[in-house]
Every structure is written in structure tokens, then in C-alpha cells.
Amino acid sequence: MTEPVTGIALAVVIVGLALTTLVTRTSFLLAGSRLKLGHRIEVALRYAPVCTLSAIIVPDVLMHGGTWDLSPLNPRLIGVVAAGLWLCVSRNIVGCLAAGLLAFTLARLYL
């Protein structure tokens, strides 16, 4: 387990990974109109973006180097809170990114 994967094996891995992206992303889309999902599923899928992104964002913000960082001085937490506050005031995404990055950078440098 110490030698990195190289050569043909690496090519196989890359093609394999590309196939996982292709298969998962196109899966239900390719079923087209033949498939009917129930109303309950359709409702559940409306919440797919918010739940999946939350599952991505929360560990990005509250984990650092494989461990939890729940401190209120966590620069990423401060950045996300600043971005959230900006978003409450204005719907401008670029301003929200700038506010979040600024708060994050200041917290990272000075806290």
C-alpha cells in the first residue's frame, strides 16, 4: 500500500472515476418520461439542494484537519456568518462572497 498508483492502473482509475461521474449525473435524467416518481418523492426532491449542500458546507466550515472546530473564533464560521448577514440585507451574491472572504481573512490573520 505504499507505492502510488501509476501508469495503466492510473489510467484505469481515471476512466473509472469519469464513469462514476457520468453514470450518477445522467442516471435518472436518461430515464426520461418513462419513469413516474410519486408525489411524495417529488416533494422530497425539492429539498435535495438545500440538504446536500448543507452536508457539504457544514463540514467545510466546522471541520479542520479531520477534527471538529466548533469554536466561535473559527475563521470559517465567522466568514459564513458574515456572508449570511450580508445575504439577509442584500441578495447580491458577489457582495456576499466579498463580505465572507473579508471576515474570514481578518479572523484568520488577527484572531
Partner 1 sequence: MGIDAEYRQLVNVRSARRAAFHAGQRAILPSLPGSAAWGLISGVAMVKGGLAVPWAITMSLLVYGASAQLAALPLIAAGAPLWVIVATGFITNLRFVIYSAALRPHFANEPFRVRAVLGFFMTDFTFTLFMRRAQAGTLPETDRDAWFAGVCSNNWLTWQTCAITGIVAASTVPTQWGLEFTGTLALAALVGPSLNVRPALVGAVFAGVVALLSHGLPFRLGLFCAAIVGIIAASVTDAFRAPPAGAPA
Residues in 19-78 at the binding interface with partner 1, rule: CB under 8 A: 19-33, 35, 37, 39-63, 66, 68, 75-76
Residue 84 C-beta: closest distance to partner 1, Å = 6
Give the nearer residue to partner 1 in terms of CB position, either 24 or 73. Answer: 24
Q: Is 111 in the site for partner 1 (CB under 8 A)?
A: no
CB 59, CB 76: distance < 8 Å:
no
Taking residues 88 to 107 in sequence order and writing x for each that binds partner 1 by CB under 8 A, - otherwise, the string is ---xxxx-xx--xx--xx--
Give the nearer residue to partner 1 in terms of CB position, either 54 or 71. Answer: 54
CB 99, CB 89: distance < 8 Å:
no
Kindly tell me the burial class for residue 23, based on how many C-beta atoms sit within 10 Å of its own C-beta (0-12, 13-18, 19 or more): exposed
